[in-house]
């Protein structure tokens, strides 16, 4: 590898680290409190670390998202996120004890909830944004275009909101990005050991996406298909990749089977099959609530004020045009096909769901795991856009950042009663300085007490700032990041000259 190429890779790594850091800080700045979805998963974490059981009998009163089997309550969610959070919970509890904080006190449990969300949801998605930046550069986009795509994903789409909640959508999407990156590494023959390593990593990432959210299984299979398509002409490599992917996915499959067997006594029936009688009647429609894609729902997911991307991440609507550009290039055709297919799958999946509004949520959350690879199309679109169209893309991204900032500031779980949350809930609350409105907590009723609130907050509020002023630290970090990015651009610009002078 020559010096120029080494320098190029170094600057890519530096930029990727800066992107991940900014996105992670933006996610960590907000804690969104409790809710049925996150409480169900957090109850499972508590059950494992506090009682060594999968039963959430001692905690189930804080959620209606629960399964009931053999006289006991269980989380109705796929176990991947909770299992990933368990080591974080053990480590956090140990640190709390060392700091003199009781891990099972109300304060300790809220802190624990914040930490597992940060490390099991926000951190993987921040890393996925950096990974998407790398993927875009590997597919031929410039550093600025790749950064635009990565930051748009992280901050200009509903993914920002989902990454502040202990939900599975962001982790599943991050795992699919990691698996996609592993597949791209197999484009070039790196040796038998490298082939097995990247295939193993792909299998593990894709398998964990499915272990986190069951609907990720078809998307995971598509990424595996991409890897095989890239090595298909070399028989020996193909078999190495097949065996590597299988070996990587096997632990995830075994973990799921063991969980299903231990909790429900069957490895074939998912947790969603064990709802208490009368709960979520729409789950009886079709298969687990899935029927067929409805055109009216599809249009609402794109343009509707209640859940549409136009009102939560408008820049995403431009991404398919960029994927089309990648589609037309022979070198990037396969990657574009798979990225588009995954995004289309999640779109059709959401449009097929009986309860498509998805309860108290911001934007089309069932589409969320498909958003990262869809945003990949923003990079080539930026590179090929004329100055006027770049202004449009900037404006769309800025609107998306502003809308999502409003959402995470006020509350990432708008009450379902609002037909247009932006107009009826977010806009008036934000400009009035009414932030962190979710008073819901991860605590069970007997732990809440009567004098304390254990709901949402942001770091500015913890520092004593209120309303719009509580966002000043966040804006300060963003400004510093812009300065640092400009310095990196100048340093890289002067680096080739310095390299040439040193080589004389």
Asked if 366 contacts 316 with a C-beta cutoff of 8 angstroms, the reply is no
Q: Would you state the pLDDT for residue 112? A: 97
Interstrand relation of 457-458 and 30-31 (parallel, antiparallel or unpaired)? antiparallel
Whole-structure pTM value = 0.94
| Buried-state track 40-73, b at ≥16 Cβ within 10 A, e below 16 | bbbbbbbbbbeeeebbbeebbbbbebbbebeeeb
**Angle of CA points 464, 453, 438, to nearest 5°:** 85
Is there a contact between 116 and 166 (Cβ–Cβ < 8 Å)? yes
Is pLDDT at 280 greater than 80 in this prediction? no
| Separation of alpha carbons 75 and 355, rounded Å | 19
pLDDT level of residue 1 (50, 70, 90 thresholds): very low
DSSP state of 270: -
Q: Which secondary structure element, helix H or strand E, spans residue 73, and what is its range? A: strand 72-75
Q: What angle do CA 485, 487, 492 make, to 5 degrees?
A: 95
pLDDT at 2 over 70: no
Q: pLDDT confidence of 3, banded at 50, 70, 90? A: very low
Q: Distance between CA 256 and CA 267 in Å, rounded? A: 8
Sign for the CA dihedral angle at 304, 309, 312, 318 comes to negative
Closest Cα to residue 363, out of 403, 323, 398, 397?
403
Token code pair at residue 173: 């999407």
Tokens representing 29? 């700045």
Mean pLDDT of the chain: 93
- Residues 143 and 137: beta-carbon distance below 8 Å: yes
Across 71-98, average pLDDT: 96
Tens of pLDDT, residue by residue over 346-368, are 999 999 998 888 889 999 999 99
Query: Residue 267: helix, strand or coil by DSSP?
Result: coil
């Amino acid at each position: 590898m020559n010096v120029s190429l080494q320098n190029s890779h170094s600057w890519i790594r530096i930029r990727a680290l800066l992107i991940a850091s900014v996105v992670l800080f933006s996610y960590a700045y907000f804690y969104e409190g409790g809710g049925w979805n996150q409480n169900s998963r957090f109850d499972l974490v508590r059950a494992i670390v506090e009682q060594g059981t999968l039963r959430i009998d001692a905690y189930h009163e804080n959620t209606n998202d629960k399964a009931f089997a053999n006289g006991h309550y269980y989380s109705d969610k796929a176990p991947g996120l909770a299992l990933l959070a368990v080591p974080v919970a053990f480590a956090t509890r140990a640190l709390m004890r060392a700091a003199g904080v009781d891990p099972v006190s109300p304060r300790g449990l809220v802190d624990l909830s914040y930490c597992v969300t940060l490390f099991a949801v926000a951190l993987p998605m921040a890393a996925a944004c950096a990974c998407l930046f790398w993927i875009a550069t590997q597919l031929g986009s410039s550093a600025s275009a790749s950064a635009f795509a990565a930051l748009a994903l992280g901050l200009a789409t509903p993914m920002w909101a989902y990454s502040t909640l202990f939900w599975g959508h962001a982790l599943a999407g991050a795992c699919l990005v990691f698996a996609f990156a592993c597949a791209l590494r197999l484009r070039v023959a790196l040796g038998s050991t490298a082939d097995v390593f990247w295939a193993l990593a792909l299998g593990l990432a894709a398998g964990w996406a499915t272990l986190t959210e069951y609907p990720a299984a078809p998307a995971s299979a598509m990424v595996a298909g991409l890897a095989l398509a890239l090595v298909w002409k070399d028989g020996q490599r193909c078999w190495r990749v097949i065996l590597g992917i299988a070996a990587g996915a096997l632990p995830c499959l075994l973990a799921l089977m063991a969980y299903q067997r231990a909790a429900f006594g069957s490895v074939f029936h998912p947790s969603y099959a064990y709802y208490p009688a009368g709960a979520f009647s729409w789950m009886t429609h079709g298969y687990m609530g899935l029927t067929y894609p409805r055109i009216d729902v599809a249009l609402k997911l794109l343009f509707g004020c209640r859940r549409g991307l136009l009102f939560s991440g408008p820049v995403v609507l431009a991404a398919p045009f960029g994927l089309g550009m990648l589609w037309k290039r022979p070198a990037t055709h396969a990657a574009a096909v798979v990225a588009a297919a995954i995004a289309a799958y999640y779109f059709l999946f959401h449009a097929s769901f009986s309860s498509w509004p998805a309860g108290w949520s911001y934007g089309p959350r069932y589409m969320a795991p498909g958003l990262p690879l869809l945003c990949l199309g923003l990079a080539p679109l930026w590179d090929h856009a004329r100055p006027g169209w770049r202004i449009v893309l900037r404006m769309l991204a800025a609107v998306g950042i502003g809308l999502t900032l409003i959402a995470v500031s006020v509350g990432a779980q708008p009450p379902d009663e609002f037909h247009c949350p932006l107009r009826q809930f977010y806009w008036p609350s934000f400009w009035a300085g009414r932030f962190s409105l979710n008073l819901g907590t991860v605590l069970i009723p007997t732990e809440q007490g009567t004098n304390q609130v254990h709901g949402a907050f942001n770091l500015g509020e913890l520092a004593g700032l209120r309303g719009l002023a509580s966002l000043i630290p966040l804006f300060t970090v963003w400004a510093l990041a812009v300065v640092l990015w400009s310095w990196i651009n100048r340093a890289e610009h002067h680096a080739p000259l310095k390299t040439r002078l040193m080589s004389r």
